[in-house]
Amino acid sequence: MAYSSKYYDPQKAHEYYMKHRNLKGRRTLNEKGKAAKATVKAAMDTEKKATIQKLKDAVDSKVTEVKGKIQALKDARKQELAGFKSESESLTKESKALTEESKRISAMPKGPAKEQAKAELKKKREALSGKRSDLQSRRDAAKQKYAKVQETVKGARQAIAELKKQFTSARKDITAQYKASYESEVEKIKADSSMTKVAGSSGKKKKSKK
C-alpha cells in the first residue's frame, strides 16, 4: 500500500528528492523515502510549534489577567492608605488650629464672650475627636480587609505558578506525542516498498567482469 499521511506533501517530497538524488550511502530508505520522511518531519515540527505556541498564548493571557487583578488590589490599597494619610494630616492641622484658638481664649478677659468661646471650642474638640475615632475605625476595618486581600493575592500567585507548571508539563506531553507520531509515520514510510531499498545498494547495476 502506498504511503499516505496528512503530513506528507508529494510535491515537497519530490523537490527534496530532486535536490538530494545524487547523495549516496547505506540507508534503508531510498531517495523518495528520505524525501517523504523530511517533508513529514517539517510538517509535524511546524504543527507542534503552532500547538505549543497556542497553549503558551492561552497561559500567558491567563497569567496577565491574574497579574492585572493583583496589581489592581495593590493600587486600591495604596490609594486607600494615601487617603488615610491625607485625612490624618488634615486632622492634625485642625488640632493645631484648636490649640492656637485655646491660647487666644485663655488670654481673653473673663466674661460672657470668653465663656461662649470656650463652649464653642469644646464643641470643636468633640467634633475633632469624633473625626479621629471615625478615621481609626475605618483604618481598622481596612486593615482587616487587607488581610483578606493578602490571602487573595497569595492564592493568585499560587495560581500563576500552577499555570506555568501545567504549561511545562503539557509542553513535554505534546513533544512526546509528536515524537511518537513521527516515529510511527517513519515506520509507515519504511513499510512502503516504493520508498525503500536494500541496505547498501546504490541503485546502479554493477558492470560484469569479462
What mean pLDDT is reported for the chain? 87
Which residues make beta-bridge pairs with 196? 29
The domain of 166 spans 10-195
Task: Tell me if 50 is assigned to some domain.
Answer: yes
Across 95-114, average pLDDT: 94
Count: domains in the chain: 1
- Rounded CA-CA distance 87/85 in Å is 5
Q: Please indicate, yes or no, if residue 53 is contained in any of the structural domains.
A: yes
Report the distance separating Cα 9 and Cα 42, nearest Å.
10
Which range among 23-27, 57-61, 108-112 shows the weakest confidence by mean pLDDT?
23-27
Whether the predicted pLDDT of 204 surpasses 80: no
Locate 196 and state its grid cell.
Answer: 525503500
In a domain, 203, yes or no: no
For residue 201, being part of any structural domain is answered with no
Confirm whether 1 is domain-assigned: no
Q: Write down the pTM of the prediction.
A: 0.63
